Every structure is written in structure tokens, then in C-alpha cells.
Amino acid sequence: MNDLLGWNFKSLPNRNSIENWVKKSGYYVYHSPSEFLQTDNLAAIVDESMMMGSEKLLITLGTPASHPGHPLLHSDVHVLGLHVASSWNSRGVCDKLKEMEGKVGHAIEYVISDNASVMNSGIRLGSYTQIRDISHTLGMFLERLYKKDDEFNSYMKSLANAKFRDVMKPIAYLLPPKLRTIARFLNLSDVAKWSSNMLENFHKLTDKEKDTFSFIHTYASFIDEFSSVMSCVKSLEQELKHKGLSGDTVLFCRKYILKELYQGNGRMRKLAENISLYLMQEHAKLLNKELTWNISSDIIESIFGTYKQKRSPNLLNGVTPFVLYLPLHTQIHEDKRRTFDFKRALEKIYMADIEQWKKINLTDNLVYKRIKTLKRA
């Protein structure tokens, strides 16, 4: 802080003091409109976290509606809503989006979300234009295609058995990547890459290694299909995340699908039809053909991850006032740190403001309830 801010402390400030400064600065940012929020062309990104203790955190981000020419960064968004509840329904999501509009002073052009039913219903209830996140949507199509497919499930079972059986043996260095239990179909690229590499390099293995992974050749045709599908999905995501949703990118993606999927088997053609229909539906939502919109909510997942990394590891704590770190985090990247007016933020905001915000927006966490219940008489 001496070097960055020129505050010239003679001794290291107390940890609690620094945390309070972070919360006060975050509160200041949260209630101070950013310059880019004054534009009429604004989009929102909304999602809820996994359960934190007994609470779920609903975050609403604001970002310029036009795609910036690169995947959204933390510095491209502004935290407009931080709300906590034991659960969220469509009315709650709709109300928070309306509250966000009131905060920026005008309507938003569209809302990006995953395909969670609560988010979908809340966005429809508010009559907003919804852009469905590219990764979650393609993952949903993969799940519909493979979840009940006998060949896919048999192959996944073979991978799991090999990993369970040989995890502590010398052959463990060749074992497949870990399969996610939650949102498995959003994270199959590594499995596809491993499968393809194993099939291609099978002849290099020792006799014992070949015996362990003998099932690879049994699924050779499926692995070729699976690798092609995941490679196509990855390419489509990269095109749309880096260049945005526009007439040009949709045309490119549909041509790519025609080349990579429509020439394959029945499963691949079915996937191609679903993706093509999705792209046409999202493209039809653009207000005019010259626009390029965002189509990914990866940034909000990243922000959730940032908070989970910084928050207390004790899950009973739930969501605490330290969540005010997030509005500050998105606004002080790179050179913004040197120009941010910390002095004004700390002088203008009092700890009483933080306490009042906590009472209105947060709930009593499980640690507090535990202490209160077990307190000596």
C-alpha cells in the first residue's frame, strides 16, 4: 500500500482494519454508478451460487450490450446486485432484475443466464430478452444426447472402474481425468482428449498397460465420434465467446456444424440440428443485423469462484459482509488501482453503513445461530 497508494504506513495495519477498508470501498463502489452504466445499451448477467451454508447468493452483473471483441473480463462488468436468500424463485429473480434497472436508471437490452428453470422463469416474468449461455446450452444438448445412451454410459463406467482400481498403482500416471459429479456434461473435453490420445498411442504401452486399458479398442468408433463432437463444441464456444453473437459468427458456426457433425452418424446429426436451431433462435433476438451481443455467462462463474476463494473456509459462515469485496474487485484491475479514490471511499462510508446493509441484505448465518443457541446462560 505504501508503494501503490503512497500512504506511508510506519507499521503494518491490523488485519481487521484492512478487511474493513475493503468492505467500505466495496460498499462505495456498489452504490456509485460506473460511467459505462450510463449508456442505454446495457446487458445483465444473472445467476445464483451453490448453497453456502444455508444461503444462496444471487449476483447480477451489468456490462455494455455490445461485445467487446474478447471474452468478458472482470474489468468489463460491474456488480449491480448482491442478494442472499435460503432459496430463489422466479418472482425473486424478476424483482432483483427490476431493482437493477432502477439502479441504472433505464431498461436493459437483454439478460444472459444459464438454463436453470428459476432463472428462465424469472427472466420471462419480467418480459426480458434472454440470451442463453453458450456453454450451458451446449452442455444441455450433450446431456440429452448421451445421458441415457448405453454406449456412452458403458464407456464412462469403464473409465471409472479403471480409475478406482489402479489409482494407487504405478500405472496411475495413465489414468483418465477425474469426472465431475455435478455439471458433468460441461467438462468432458479433457476426457475426450485423453481417450483420443490413448487410442492413438496404444501401441506404445507395455503389455500390462495394454491389458489394463484393453477396453479402449472396444470403444474405438465411439471415441472417434466423441472426440469429433467435443472438438466441434469447443470450436463453437471459442468462436462465439471471442467474437460474440452476430450474423457473421452464426453463419460461421452453422457452416462448421455442417462440415463436422452433419456428415457423422445419427447421434451427431441430431446434435447438429439442436445446435443449429439454438443459434438461429438466439440470432433472431438481435435488434438489428449490425449488432454483436455477448452470449457467455462464464464471467459470473469466475466471479463466484473469486468470492469462494477469498471467503472463510467455514461453510457455516454463509455469505458475510465481505461479499462487498466483489464490486471493488471488478473496478480496480490493472491501472485502475492507482486512480481509485480510496481516501474518499473510506471517509464517506462508515461501519454503521456496512452494518445497516448487512441487516437489510444478509441473513443470520449458521455460525451466529450456533453461538446464540449454545451460549451459556
The rounded distance, in Å, linking the Cα atoms of 341 and 21 is: 12
For 207-262, the pLDDT digits (tens) are 999 998 999 999 999 999 999 999 999 999 999 999 999 999 999 999 999 999 99
3-state secondary structure of 63: strand
Cell triple for 164: 478406482
Cell triple for 140: 444441455
The rounded distance, in Å, linking the Cα atoms of 42 and 31 is: 18
Q: What is the mean pLDDT of residues 175-189?
A: 79
Phi, psi of 113 (to 5 degrees): -155, 170
Band (pLDDT 50/70/90 cuts) for residue 335 is low
Among 30-44, 107-121, 236-250, 265-279, the least confident range: 30-44
The rounded distance, in Å, linking the Cα atoms of 224 and 32 is: 53
pLDDT in the model for residue 120: 95
Single-letter amino acid, residue 55: E
DSSP 179: P
| Cα-based torsion angle of the residue sequence 370, 371, 372, 373 in order, rounded to the nearest 10 degrees | 50
Q: Is the model's pLDDT at 34 over the cut of 70?
A: no
The rounded distance, in Å, linking the Cα atoms of 210 and 201 is: 10
pLDDT in the model for residue 289: 84
The rounded distance, in Å, linking the Cα atoms of 179 and 190 is: 9
192/186: higher pLDDT: 192
Among 86-90, 130-134, 138-142, 341-345, the least confident range: 341-345
3-state secondary structure of 56: strand
Phi, psi of 81 (to 5 degrees): -145, 130
Largest CA distance in the chain: 75
For 86-137, the pLDDT digits (tens) are 889 999 999 999 998 888 888 899 999 998 999 999 999 999 999 999 999 9
For 286-309, the pLDDT digits (tens) are 988 899 999 999 999 999 988 888
Q: Is the model's pLDDT at 377 over the cut of 80?
A: no
Cell triple for 169: 498403482
pLDDT in the model for residue 9: 78
Residue whose C-alpha is closest to residue 60's, from 125, 24, 104: 104
333/243: higher pLDDT: 243
Band (pLDDT 50/70/90 cuts) for residue 266 is very high
pLDDT in the model for residue 81: 92
CB 76 within 8 A of CB 88: no
pLDDT in the model for residue 35: 63
Single-letter amino acid, residue 306: T
3-state secondary structure of 106: coil
Neighbouring C-alpha atoms within 13 Å toward the C-beta of 48: 25
pLDDT in the model for residue 53: 67
Q: What is the mean pLDDT of residues 1-5?
A: 69
Cell triple for 288: 438489428
5/200: higher pLDDT: 200
CB 296 within 8 A of CB 131: no
Q: Is the pTM of this model over 0.95?
A: no
The rounded distance, in Å, linking the Cα atoms of 243 and 258 is: 20
Q: What percent of the chain has pLDDT over 70?
A: 95
- Average pLDDT of every residue of the chain: 89
Domain boundaries, the chain: 2-133+296-374, 136-283
